[in-house]
Structure 1
Amino acid sequence: MTDERIEPPLTGDERETLRGYLDWHRATLVLTCAGLSDEELRRRSRPPSTLSLLGLVRHMAEVERSWFRRVIAGEDVPLVWSADGDFQAAFDADGADRAQAFDAWEEEMAHARRIEQAAPSLDVTGVDRRDGTAYSLRLVMLHLIQEYARHNGHADLLREGIDGVVGV
Structure 2
Amino acid sequence: MTAQTPSPPSHPDHQFRVDPPTAAGERELLQGFLDYHRGTLLWKVSGLTGEQLVQRSVDPSSMSLIGLVRHLIEVERYWYQTCLGQQTVQPTYWTDEYPDGDFDLVDPVQAEQDLEDYRAIVKVSDELVAGYDLDHTFTRPRRDDAYSVRYLLIHMIEEYARHNGHADLLRERVDGLTGE
Q: Same fold (TM over 0.5)?
A: yes
Q: State, as a whole percentage, how many aligned pairs show the same letter.
A: 40
User: Given residue 125 of structure 2, which amino acid in structure 1 is its aligned partner?
Assistant: A
Code of the aligned partner of 2:44 = T
- Residue in structure 1 matching 2:29, options 2, 13, 17: 17
Q: Deviations over 1:119-168 (max 9, x none)?
A: 1x101112111323321110010000001001101001100001111014
Which residue pairs with 1:54 in the alignment? 66
Q: Give the secondary-structure state (helix, strand or coil) at the position aligned to 1:77.
A: coil
Who is 2:139 aligned against?
127
| RMSD value, Cα | 1.8
Corresponding residue number in structure 1 for 2:86: 74
Larger Rg: 2
Residue-by-residue CA offset, 1:98-131 (whole Å, 9 max, x unaligned): 1231122112111110111111x10111211132
Q: Which runs of 5+ in 1 are unaligned?
A: none
Structure number with higher helix proportion:
1
Rounded to whole Å, the distance in 2 between the matches of 1:92 and 1:72 is: 28
Amino acid at match of 2:121: E
Structure 1 residue 86: Cα displacement = 6.4
**Structure 2 match to 1:6:** 18
Q: Which secondary structure state, in structure 1, belongs to the residue aligned with residue 100 of structure 2?
A: helix
What letter matches 1:163 in structure 2? D
Q: Which runs of 5+ in 2 are unaligned?
A: 1-8
Q: How far apart, CA to CA, are the structure 2 residues paired with 1:104 and 1:153?
A: 22
1:93 is displaced (CA, Å) by 4.2
Q: 1:70 to 1:47 in 2, by over 3 A?
A: same
For 1:117, the equivalent position in structure 2 comes to 130
Give the match for residue 100 of structure 1: 113
CA–CA distance in 1 between the matches of 2:114 and 2:163?
Answer: 16
**Residue 156 of structure 2 aligns with which residue?**
144
8 Å contact from structure 2 (residues 16, 40) kept in 1: no
